Amino acid sequence: MKSRTPALLASLGANLIYSLNYLIAKGIMPNYLEPRAIIFLRVAGASAIFWIVSSLIRNDLVERVDLKRIAFASLFGVTINQILFFEGLNLSTPINASIIMLAVPLAVLAFSAILGAGRIPIVKIIGILIGSSGAVMLVLFKGSFDISSSTAMGNLLIIINASSYALYLVLIKPMMLKYHPITVMKWVFLFGMITSTPFTINAALTSQWNEIPLNIWISILYVVVFTTVLAYLLNNFSLKHISPATNSAFIYLQPVFTTFIAIALGLDSLHPYMFVPALLIFSGVFIVSFRQKT
């Protein structure tokens, strides 16, 4: 358990960063930047940071066959993941996106089984189902799931996005066991930049950068440095010691973190209804993370 503790804390920290991102990034799009301009900044900025850090502290050689595997994983973890999420969110609703993204742990279990990544303990399935039920309850407390025709395409794009990220977690796991996280991430984002730039460069070039105020630049800096670089690094570090299913289960804590951050900032209020979903979420994550195989 001692060797797993840093990995579990890394997953916890990554999802706390994602939770803060919902509130911090809210004012950037679409008032100042289009989603694809943000994606360009995230991927290009993260790639530059990882390569600079790698040159200073770690410069491992990666086998050619593994570079191909990392490039393939990057396609799902960076390019498809980020573009389809933002495009889907633009056509759907935040409630829909929040609920659909909760399917990531279930998709991870499915891809793990399909790709032969190991037997899936029944206790993990139970824990994920408990956590997902609590997360759905908490999200639906804020609003209703919209299944109208106007959101259908957005919902579909977010479903593909969630599946893509789940597949990335399963594909990148062997690389995390073989190489240092910094080494893996510099290649992940380099390949991600190559494949995503054709879809994002036009939005970046046509953006009105000179009209962005200082407070929005601070938000952009958070999105690039924390939400992209640090969160991806923490998630991939955790994959060295825990399974993709356990890592992805921490996504259920995002609605809890976001809710309590909003309450602390005076943007929301505490309701008795929140306690039952929160209890289910923490129970599910505990079962997935700490319960050992018999």
Domain boundaries, the chain: 5-290
pLDDT: which is higher, 185 or 92: 185
**Residue 268: pLDDT band with limits 50, 70, 90:** low
251 pLDDT above the threshold of 80: yes
In DSSP notation, 108-150 reads HHHHHHHTT-----HHHHHHHHHHHHHHHHHHHHT-----SHH
**Residue 293: pLDDT band with limits 50, 70, 90:** very low
Nearest by Cα to 124 from 248, 2, 7: 248
247 pLDDT above the threshold of 90: no
pLDDT: which is higher, 54 or 25: 54
pLDDT: which is higher, 135 or 248: 248
pLDDT: which is higher, 30 or 208: 208
pLDDT (average), residues 18-32? 77
Mean pLDDT over the full length of the chain: 82
The 8-class DSSP code of residue 207 comes to S
pLDDT in tens, 114-153: 776 556 677 777 887 887 787 777 666 666 555 666 677 8
245 pLDDT above the threshold of 70: yes
Predicted local distance difference test score (pLDDT) of residue 1: 45
- φ/ψ of 124, rounded to 5, equals -70, -40
Cα distances (angstroms) measured from residue 97 to each of 152, 186, 260: 12, 28, 19
The 10 Å Cβ neighbour count of residue 180 is 17
**Residue 294: pLDDT band with limits 50, 70, 90:** very low
In DSSP notation, 141-196 reads HT-----SHHHHHHHHHHHHHHHHHHHHHHHHHHHHHHS-HHHHHHHHHHHHHHHH
pTM (global) more than 0.95: no
pLDDT: which is higher, 263 or 83: 83
Predicted local distance difference test score (pLDDT) of residue 188: 95
Predicted local distance difference test score (pLDDT) of residue 109: 77
Predicted local distance difference test score (pLDDT) of residue 18: 84
pLDDT in tens, 45-67: 999 999 999 998 877 889 999 99
Q: How far apart, in whole angstroms, are the C-alpha atoms of residue 90 and residue 103? A: 19
Predicted local distance difference test score (pLDDT) of residue 13: 93
